[in-house]
Structure 1
Amino acid sequence: MPKTNALLPVLTALLLLTACGAPGSGTGVTAPRVDGVLITSVTLPSAMPTPGSDGLGVVHADPLPADGSGISAAYEVTNNGTEALAYTILFDFTTEAGEVMANTRETVRSVAPGATVRGTVRLKASTPGSSRVTRVKVSRVTTVPAAEAPSASGECPPSGIRITADDGDAAMGLRVVGLHLENCGKRDYALDGYPLLELLDQKKVAVQGVHIVEGSGGISTGTGFDEPARPLVLKPGESALSGLMWRNTTESGDAVNVPYVRVRAVQGADPVTVTPHLDLGTTGRLAVRAWTRPSK
């Protein structure tokens, strides 16, 4: 009997643990709305009780899933503006101490003025041995007019041309972001030269003081940026590649950050706004590569 009494604190603790919600628990959220995005609840897997094998009926807690399965957050996006917007949201999955274990990017394609759209973001497999995720937060929100947002994979805009930007590459302060163009329409599409760019700040206002140079502009060699522009005709289903290159060197003066780049494939084409988040430092230069066929 004394042995049974000694187990009561253990049993009580485990009952409290499972009362928190098994197999998962919704957590109240008090974080403020970030640029129209609010996390409304977070669901975390709870330790599940299993009967013990020691003959005493002690309940043991099974380990939490190591791959992050079951961790999710419900969110809502509210557009308080006057035009339909596309939202790209970066969610951070963190420990109780705030250490970021993983992040996930979600895109909400079109939210009408005054409307609220709801969704759920889930943690993908986490690194084995990493600390336990207990929180989800909105790390960054970018918005572009829905009419200028890059089309989703498998969709073709009325222009028949799909333009997207990749995640880029960075090494020793050199940054390169690829611009990808696909002729998803039914007619040939002619290119000759360089994409036309507008650099926009956080308020979608044109950034001043940055010189856009055709070719490498001496920023770096051996990158393909100095290949001459040649006329291209893309048949339906064919693609072309361009790119942006810069260094994030920061010396005297104020560093320049460009979250948005409005791209036109050729003069007069419909614009597409991509969000490469250019950290130009104080260099004042951005190189652009001529349209070319991707290497095979």
Structure 2
Amino acid sequence: MNRLDSLRPPLAATAALPLSFAAIALLLTACGTERTDAGHSDTSTAVPSSSAQVDDPGKDGVRVTSLTFASTAPAPTKSSPVSADGLGSDSGISAAYEVTNKSDETLTYSIVFTFMSRDGGAMANQTATVRDVGPGKTVRGTVRAGGLPPATPRVTQAKVLEVTKVPAGEAPAEPGTCPGSGIRVSTDQGDAAMGLRVVGLHLENCGTQPYTVEGYPLLELLDKDRKPVHGVKILDGSGEITTGAGPDEQPRPVTLGPGESATAGLVWRNTTESGTPVNVPYVRVRAKAGAAPVTVTPNLDLGTTGKLGVKPWDKAEP
């Protein structure tokens, strides 16, 4: 899943696009039941629509099958007003898609869709999460383009921009749920400046008992096929890489009560010199020895440096 391309930088996701759009997460089960976020559950502003078939070859088992256009844009409502930057809550444009799992394990997919004008310019990128797709199963869903400025060129196309997929049992927990382990592990959008990259790991105790970690998160670097990446040295601390990420603190026990969180940091440079650049789409994270693994997708563009610095767990401020 990681990615510093022009449409969706791996560290900033869609926030770095020239146009800023709220990501719409569409969560599905393997049987095809869909749930949209609350901001798009109101059907009181529904308007007549038309649809067009899409000739999309797709990517990694995901393809767009049709586009739907509202005959007029929905009017703003009290629950979904026009934002300060002039974006409406919903343009009335959506794309139907299908996900086919051709592997022999149950997978959770994260998919970036791009809505484009006739000349191929990206008008909006949106993300859908499709959970627990069983082997050989096909799940169908819909993703909306979201709000578009009045001067935006007409959207005429949609396609799959990026697909990442992880074993369902290792996927980050769905927002608002707590896994059996009692902890949630996730990454943030990160920060990039002058070739220095920093991505935060977040550990939240969503259970009912205290949870203690000490030292560094345990990492496995995985390639696009989720196979181990060799030749990268994982360092304790970031001092060998930069002093710009703050001093290296000594690891110490961190006990999290229910609802409390800790953070750790991944630090690297994407310098490219002689040799083959290394990209790491997936990182399997264990909060500590014996913890259940969670596979995240920070898309580490390590260049040819061969180094990744890891900061120890530190309790997050309330």
TM over 0.5, shorter chain: yes
Counterpart of 1:181, as a letter, is: L
Whole-angstrom distance in 2 between the partners of 1:129 and 1:194 = 49
Q: Distance in 2 between matches of 1:47 and 1:262?
A: 45
C-alpha RMSD over aligned residues: 1.8
1:206 corresponds, among 228, 234, 244, to 228
TM-score by length of 1: 0.83
CA positional deviation for 1:217: 3.4
**In structure 1, C-alpha distance between the alignment counterparts of 2:247 and 2:93, rounded to whole Å:** 43
**Compared CA separation, residues 238 and 40, structure 1 to 2 (3 A):** same
Where 1:290 maps in the other structure, the secondary structure is coil
The counterpart of 1:32, out of the listed 57, 81, 84, is 57
Gaps of 5+ in 1: 1-21, 49-64
Question: How far 1:149 sits from its partner (Å)?
Answer: 0.2
Other-structure match for 2:107: 85
Calculate the TM-score normalised by the size of structure 2. Answer: 0.77
Distance in 2, Cα, partners of 1:261 & 1:249? 20
Q: 1:160-215, CA deviations, whole angstroms, 9 ceiling, x for partnerless residues?
A: 11101111111121111111100111111111000000000011110011111111
Q: In 1, distance between residues paired with 2:246 and 2:173?
A: 27
**Once the 2 structures are TM-superposed, how far is the Cα of residue 155 of structure 1 from its aligned partner?**
0.6
Alignment of 1:246-285 (within 5 A): 246-285=268-307
Task: Report the alpha carbon displacement of residue 32 of structure 1 after superposing the two structures with TM.
Answer: 0.8
1:44 CA drift (Å): 2.2
Deviations 1:137-156 (A, max 9, x none): 10000000000000011111
Alpha-carbon distance in 1 for matches of 2:153, 2:65: 24
- Bigger relative contact order, structure 1 or 2 (CA pairs below 8 A, ≥6 apart): 2
Deviates more, 1:38-47 or 1:285-294: 38-47
1:95 and 2:120 matched: no
Q: Which runs of 5+ in 2 are unaligned?
A: 1-46, 74-85
CA distance in 2, matches of 1:143, 1:212: 24
Q: State the alpha-carbon separation in 1 of the partners of residues 228 and 87 from structure 2.
A: 46
Amino acid at match of 1:217: G
Map 1:1-296; keep pairs closer than 5 Å. Answer: 23-46=48-71, 67=88, 69-224=91-246, 226-296=248-318
- Structure possessing the higher radius of gyration over alpha carbons: 1
**Equivalences, count:** 259
1:115-147 deviations in whole A, cap 9, x for unaligned?
111111001223453333221110000000000
